[in-house]
Chains A and B, each alone.
Chain A
């Protein structure tokens, strides 16, 4: 794909930011190709100079969840009244997965919600399906990581959020499409 002019991308980013759309710089840098360094410097300067927007109620919810040691995904899903089964159905449907593997998908969704699975290991298409199911942006849901706790000035990694333990498959299975989607990285 041909790189787009820095001036066009700069203009688009600033206008989107002004509209409160919280544009993702990574996408703009990708579109800038070899001019990404110049665009990055411009956007960094802009963000230092631009007024910080009011947080959305969703942003406050996500921050609160992180502060309390929850994963934003779990907090937002429950706050929105979306069941885990609905999220699983959304993934299976969006990616045209074998319905017989639904249980395995649910197991992985549980791991994501419990902070036991790194979102960066999960295929972007899965994250997008989850975000759509809970009406959120991928970056909002998965940018926060489980929060360490500070004790005596030293930060300790928090225990994984309490959640019912779901056993892994008893027998080692050959890696399938579901495993690859949840362990492939982006």
Chain B
């Protein structure tokens, strides 16, 4: 499911449209910083540092063997950890930093995280309900209409799917 976005990121990188590339990441990066730090001011500060580092990376003309989103999430994780450690966030990333390095100490490997993959593991009916709910944003009544189900059955499918998604998201997949 990441394929379309990864392709668009590659196109934006190749055409030099950095503002469109980075603007798309602002909300999710800020949200993840907030979820980890739980302090809106700290989250804003760290988000800003993440984007300064991303701009620095792009200014170097770096190319990556991993999708750009992996670079974003690695730098986000790195910067959050540095904030926790009380380190300055204004230091640019080291020249030789490799987002694909397996020994990277600062961030988790995010390359394989994919919501579609998580949903594929669900039973067919639950997957269909979840795709309409979490990929299309439909409300349960519309999902019931679309799939010819009763509203209660939609609620039950979502309830059952939640337990599995929870296990996958908290248990590392």
Whether A45 sits at the interface, judged by CB under 8 Å, is yes
The answer to whether A25 and B31 touch (CB under 8 A), given A54-B24, A55-B23, A120-B41, is yes
Taken together as a complex, chains A and B put the C-alpha atoms of A102 and B119 apart, in Å, by 55
Instruction: Contact check, B35 vs A155: say whether CB atoms are below 8 A apart.
Output: no
Taken together as a complex, chains A and B put the C-alpha atoms of A13 and B56 apart, in Å, by 32
Instruction: Contact check, A11 vs B158: say whether CB atoms are below 8 A apart.
Output: yes
B51: chain A residues within 8 A (beta carbon) = 66
Instruction: Contact check, B20 vs A60: say whether CB atoms are below 8 A apart.
Output: yes
* A interface residues with partner B (beta carbon < 8 Å): 7, 10-11, 14-22, 24-26, 29, 36, 38, 40-55, 59-60, 62-64, 66-67, 120, 139, 143-145, 147-148, 150, 153-155
Q: How far is the CB of A15 from chain B (nearest CB, A)?
A: 5
The answer to whether A19 and B48 touch (CB under 8 A), given A49-B169, A52-B25, is no
Instruction: Contact check, B52 vs A147: say whether CB atoms are below 8 A apart.
Output: yes
The answer to whether A19 and B137 touch (CB under 8 A), given A43-B31, A48-B73, A150-B52, is yes
Instruction: Contact check, A26 vs B137: say whether CB atoms are below 8 A apart.
Output: no
9 nearest A-B residue pairs (beta carbon): A45-B169, A19-B137, A18-B137, A55-B23, A55-B24, A63-B23, A155-B90, A49-B113, A49-B115
B23: chain A residues within 8 A (beta carbon) = 55, 59-60, 62-64
B31: chain A residues within 8 A (beta carbon) = 24-25, 43, 47
Number of A-B contacts (CB under 8 A): 132
Taken together as a complex, chains A and B put the C-alpha atoms of A52 and B110 apart, in Å, by 13
**Interface-side segment among B96-104, B128-136, B145-153:** B128-136
Whether B4 sits at the interface, judged by CB under 8 Å, is yes
Whether B22 sits at the interface, judged by CB under 8 Å, is yes
Q: How far is the CB of B61 from chain A (nearest CB, A)?
A: 15
Q: Is the interface of A mostly helix, strand, loop or mixed?
A: helix
Contact residues, B1-53 vs A (CB, 8 A): 1-2, 4-5, 8, 19-20, 22-28, 30-32, 34-36, 38, 40-41, 44-45, 47-48, 51-52
Instruction: Contact check, B41 vs A7: say whether CB atoms are below 8 A apart.
Output: no
Taken together as a complex, chains A and B put the C-alpha atoms of A124 and B59 apart, in Å, by 36
Instruction: Contact check, B133 vs A60: say whether CB atoms are below 8 A apart.
Output: no
Q: How far is the CB of B73 from chain A (nearest CB, A)?
A: 6
Instruction: Contact check, A45 vs B48: say whether CB atoms are below 8 A apart.
Output: no
B158: chain A residues within 8 A (beta carbon) = 11
Q: Which residue of the partner chain, among A38, A48, A59, A155, contacts B52 with CB atoms under 8 Å?
A: A155
A11-B162, A18-B136 known, 18 other contacts, Cβ within 8 Å: A10-B166, A14-B133, A15-B137, A38-B170, A42-B165, A49-B114, A49-B115, A53-B27, A55-B20, A55-B23, A59-B27, A60-B23, A63-B23, A64-B19, A139-B30, A144-B48, A147-B52, A153-B92
